[in-house]
Amino acid sequence: MKTILCFFLFSVGLSALGAAGDISQATVTLPYSELRGLLERVQPVSDDRVPPKPPVEVWVQSANYMIDCTDLAAVRFEASFRVVNLSDEWQSVVLVEATEAVRSLDPPDAKLVPIDGGMCLLLEPKAASTVTLGLQAAPILRSVTGRLIADFMTVGAGQSTLELRHAEDPAAVIVTGAVGANREKSEFSLPAGGGPVQVKLYSPEAMQPTQWQATTKHWIRDLGGVMQVSCHLRLNATDGGLTSRAQVSLASPASVNSVTDFGRGGGVRDSMEMTAQGPILHLE
């Protein structure tokens, strides 16, 4: 009984000593054969986490348009796109409207199909593609002021430009829908969100300020000792000038009752500016 009790106390003492000790480093020595066996039995840990999805599935990196109107009898129109599919599934992206006539396609095996009113490029999962479309230039519409060369819709893209090849005076080139151009008006920046673009070449005569012809009719009424003078003013453009803006200087006590039938289509916009010389009516 005495021997057993001493052994029990000795064991408890060793346990307490081990719990109180602070072991900062330990070394284990194994034979190479045992270490190799342990490494062979270790299985790789699989990562079951789903990779994050991109915020967009397909991305039009660039959209570059080119119009060559150096020969007005044979206008060329091309559009080049760089498109990237960021998803793990097939994607489609509209490049041009379905009403556009595609004359050529580079590369010829690009998957271009009509979907929902647009010509769409099909992309395989995680694929990127650069395509160039040769489009049918619309017939040039002539007017008194000049020629309408192109009227088309652009798509939203990270970078969007228009290259215009022409032999005209830069002052005669008007591109509606662009947000910037170089001095020669041969390179234009287009909105990243896309939208309508019109290209016009104005005739030299249209660059001159519009010449206006005015006709008036007056009515005079006696309002009990106060003379009231009413005037009906009609303005006609005598040429096809580039602008339809007009300014009418009025006498100081004059007021404008109404402005009608100004311009072609749409309503007239008018504003009154008060100056030291009298009110000025702005029309456009």
158 against 260, higher pLDDT: 158
Which of 36-40, 191-195, 238-242 tops mean pLDDT?
191-195
Kindly tell me if the per-residue pLDDT of 190 is higher than 80. yes
Say what the pLDDT of residue 4 is.
Answer: 46
Could you report the per-residue pLDDT of 207-259, keeping only the tens digit for each? 666 677 788 888 888 888 787 888 888 877 665 555 556 778 877 777 777 77
Question: If residue 142 lies in a helix (H) or strand (E), which one and from where to where?
Answer: strand 141-142
Q: What are phi and psi of 274, to 5 degrees?
A: -90, 125
Domain 58-204 has CATH 3.40.50: no
Q: What is the mean pLDDT of the chain?
A: 81
Residues 68/76, Cβ–Cβ less than 8 Å: yes
Query: ∠ CA 60-63-67 to the nearest 5 degrees?
Result: 160
Say what the pLDDT of residue 199 is.
Answer: 93
Say what the pLDDT of residue 155 is.
Answer: 96
Q: Name the residue among 157, 153, 163 with its Cα closest to residue 97.
A: 153
Kindly tell me if the per-residue pLDDT of 139 is higher than 50. yes
Handedness of CA 85, 108, 135, 118 (dihedral sign): negative
Q: Which two tokens stand for residue 181?
A: 């151009």
Kindly tell me if the per-residue pLDDT of 135 is higher than 80. yes
Report the percent of the chain where pLDDT is more than 90: 38
- Domain chopping of the chain, boundaries: 58-204, 212-283
- The answer to whether the pTM exceeds 0.85 is no
3-state secondary structure (DSSP) of residue 157 = coil
HEC readout, 14-56: HHHHHHHCCCCCCCCCCCHHHHHHHHHHCCCCCCCCCCCCCCC
Distance CA 117, CA 9 (A): 92
**Average pLDDT value for residue range 57-66:** 96
Distance CA 230, CA 222 (A): 12
**Average pLDDT value for residue range 121-130:** 95
